[in-house]
Amino acid sequence: MTLALLIALAVLQALDGFTTRRILDQGGRELNPVMRAGFETIGFWPTIAIKGAAMVALGAWGANYAGLSAPGLLVVLYCAVVAWNWRQVRRR
């Protein structure tokens, strides 16, 4: 079950990246100042890759120390993020 959640989290990270890129290409802006600084400093895709890897690692670490709830909570959070992004893409 934990592996499935971590795979889902990795997929959601990719979807977050692709939807964010689409929003930015359509004239939107990144609301998270940390991510925006990363985009400006090292570029969009490297920042997305680092953040995605960090979220999956956090989920794996949390599964070991906080039980199954940590990756599950991250999956729920990023489902909401991707849904929000998708709504923004559809509005533009």
Q: Report the C-alpha gap between 90 and 86 in whole angstroms.
A: 6
Which residues 6+ apart lie within 8 Å of 19 measured at CB? 82, 85, 86, 88, 89
Query: CB burial class (10 A; 0-12, 13-18, 19+) of residue 79?
Result: middle
Number of domains present in the structure of the chain? 1
The per-residue pLDDT for 64 is 78
pLDDT tens across 7-66, in order?
999 999 999 999 999 999 999 999 999 999 999 999 999 999 999 999 999 999 888 786
Looking at every residue in the chain, the average pLDDT score rounds to 92
| Domain with 36 in it | 2-91
Of the pLDDT bands very low, low, confident and very high (cuts 50, 70, 90), residue 92 is low
Of 3, 37, 26, residue with least CA distance to 87: 26
Of 61, 87, 58, 85, residue with least CA distance to 74: 58
Q: Report the C-alpha gap between 80 and 85 in whole angstroms.
A: 9
